[in-house]
Structure 1
């Protein structure tokens, strides 16, 4: 995950690949406006939430509910 945010090297042109950081960012931005996965700092913040069992449980429940709501719309 940390390697995803390293900006060295050639940039990929074209459609963004579906990777774990991309999916996590999309899911997080659906439920919490100020929580995005755009940098290694954001990843560390997410890790700190994951270490707090109650907070992580609440966050994953919100992500699951948002995903289920999104699927029922289609």
Structure 2
């Protein structure tokens, strides 16, 4: 996961590859306050620390699920 944030030159000419960091970032970016992003190793470490606390992780996943359901209902 940490290697994902190391800059590699060039861009993809095709559709971006679906990776775990991309999926996680998409999920946490649904949070209405923008409180969490997955752009650096520090962000990844912060997410790991949240995952270590069961109550925090449950609260985070609940917020993400609710935000996803809300965005679906608006479409």
Task: Provide the TM-score with structure 2 as the length reference.
Answer: 0.78
Counterpart of 1:30 in 2: which secondary structure? coil
Query: Residue in 2 aligned with 1:57?
Result: 58
Deviation, 1:36, is 0.6
**Number of aligned positions between the proteins:** 73
Equivalent pair of 2:5/2:41 in contact (CA under 8 Å): yes
Query: Residue in 2 aligned with 1:44?
Result: 45
Post-superposition, which runs of at least 4 consecutive aligned residues in structure 1 deviate over 4 A? Answer: none
1:1-74 matched pairs, under 5 angstroms: 1-7=1-7, 9-14=8-13, 16-31=16-31, 32-74=33-75
- Which ranges of structure 2 fall in alignment gaps of 5 or more residues? none
Calculate the aligned-residue CA RMSD, in Å.
1.8
Task: Provide the TM-score with structure 1 as the length reference.
Answer: 0.79
